[in-house]
Amino acid sequence: MMDRLYALYMREAKRIFRSVYMWIMLISQPIMWLVFFGSSFSGVPSQVLTSFFHTTNYIAFILPGELSISMLFVGMFSSMSLIQDKRFGYLKRVLITPTPKYDVFLAKTLGGMTRGLLQVPILLVASYFLGVRLDLTPLSLGVLFLSLAFVGIGFSSLYSMFTLKTADWQAPGVISNLINLPLMFSSTALFPKAFFPGWLRAISDVNPLTYAAELNRGMLLYNDPSWNYLGYLAMFALVMVLLGSILTNKYLNAE
């Protein structure tokens, strides 16, 4: 029943919107990326930028990448939220009602996605002030949000799957350490893969972050998106959600 998922999702959303610290995190983290990391190439001659990044502004290059990375990072919050519910016993309260376990999982996943998507408008505005001009149309915005939603759902699911059976506060940090850095640096979110060694390129070619970064770069900067990338991301989200739902029904503990 949708009513149950709705109730659990609204709970996640309210908790996100009401936390001051969450807003500080949401606003500061992506902007710090753009300002500090994005500025690291600002002295590079523009021919170099054009030939390697196909743009004269590195911030414009990493913006779609950073948006994708944001969706990766929020995954951690879904598993933190799940562990918090175990610790405070709230999960017992939920599982004593006729609520299927996968509803709990889906609510956490959608909560993580929501949290990530809130960063999109913040980053778009921030990049405007940093001199980035993007090709913003209803279509490109729609695709941007949709593709990032897929990435968010996929990674939030992945995170939740890893912490289904544990109630240890440390677990999300450990998982994020093992997932975030390899996926971030093996994608083309920050650098083109022209200089990657073969093995890194192989990872990059299946990494959903690469697909999200490339799709939105094509959409927002070059007006030439690869539509099948959107399909790849949709498949990624679907597979993760299905797998996560099955594992949750089997392995989720109330404590």
Partner 1 sequence: MYSIETENLTKKYGDFVAVDHISFKVEKGEIFGLLGPNGAGKTTTIKMLTGLTPPTEGDAVIAGYSIRKNPIEVKSRIGWISSEVILDDDLTAWENLEIQARLTGVRNWKERATSLLKYFGILDFANRKTGKFSTGMRKKLEVSMALLNSPEVIFMDEPTIGLDVNTRATMWNLIREINRDYQVTILLTTHYMEEADSLCSRIGIINKGKIIALGTPEELKSRYGGDIIEIELKNGTNVNVGFENAVVTNGKVRIKVSNAETMLMDVIRAIGNDNIKGIKINKSSLDTVFINLTGGTIEEQDFDARRFYAMIRRARR
15/201 with CB nearer partner 1? 15
Residue 87 binds partner 1 (CB under 8 A): no
171/212 with CB nearer partner 1? 171
Residue 7 binds partner 1 (CB under 8 A): yes
Q: How far is the CB of 79 from partner 1 (least distance, A)?
A: 18
Q: What are phi and psi of 111, to 5 degrees?
A: -60, -45
Residue 251 binds partner 1 (CB under 8 A): no
Residue 98 binds partner 1 (CB under 8 A): yes
Site for partner 1 in 9-28 (CB under 8 A): 10-11, 14-15, 18-19
Pattern 109-148, partner 1, x by CB under 8 A:
----------------------------------------
DSSP string, 79-146: HHHHHHHHHTTHHHHHHTTT--HHHHHHHHHHHHHHHHHTHHHHHHHHHHHTT------HHHHHHHHH
Cα separation, 16 vs 22, in Å, equals 7
Pick from 254, 106, 112: which is nearest to 175 by CA? 112
Task: Please name the residue that has the structure tokens 């503990």.
Answer: 253
Pick from 152, 172, 169, 149: which is nearest to 160 by CA? 172
Residue 90 binds partner 1 (CB under 8 A): yes
Q: Which of 32, 35, 88, 142 binds partner 1 (CB under 8 A)?
A: 88
DSSP string, 193-224: GGG--HHHHHHHTT-HHHHHHHHHHIIIIIS-
18/131 with CB nearer partner 1? 18
Note whether 204 and 210 are within 8 A (CB): yes
Note whether 148 and 212 are within 8 A (CB): yes
Q: Which of 24, 92, 169, 228 binds partner 1 (CB under 8 A)?
A: 92
Q: How far is the CB of 108 from partner 1 (least distance, A)?
A: 14
Residue 202 binds partner 1 (CB under 8 A): no
Question: Binding segment for partner 1 among 29-37, 74-82, 86-94, 206-214 (CB under 8 A)?
Answer: 86-94
User: Applying CB under 8 A, which residues contact partner 1?
Assistant: 1, 3-4, 6-8, 10-11, 14-15, 18-19, 88-90, 92-99, 253-254
